[in-house]
Amino acid sequence: MREPEPPDPPRPSTEAVRRAVRRWVEEIVVGEGLCPFARPVLHRMRITVSEATALEPLLTDLGRELERLVETPSGLLPTTLVAAPRMLDDFEDYLDALEIAQALLSGAGLDGVIQLASFHPDYRFADAAPDDPANGTNQSPVPLFHLLREDDVAHAIDTHPDPDGIPFRNQARFRRLGAEGVRALLARIHVD
| Domain range enclosing 137 | 14-186
133/47 Cα distance (integer angstroms):
26
Give me the pLDDT at residue 192, please.
77
Residues (pLDDT < 50) of the chain are none
Q: For residue 20, is it within any domain?
A: yes
Q: Quick check: helix, strand or coil at residue 106?
A: helix
Give me the pLDDT at residue 32, please.
94
Q: For residue 56, is it within any domain?
A: yes
Q: For residue 144, is it within any domain?
A: yes
Q: Are 101 and 145 in contact (CB under 8 A)?
A: yes
Give me the pLDDT at residue 191, please.
86
Q: For residue 191, is it within any domain?
A: no
Per-residue b or e along 140-165, where b marks 16 or more CB atoms closer than 10 Å to that residue's CB: bbbbbbbbbbeebbeebeeeeeeeee
- Based on the structure, what is the number of domains in the chain? 1
Q: Are 98 and 116 in contact (CB under 8 A)?
A: yes
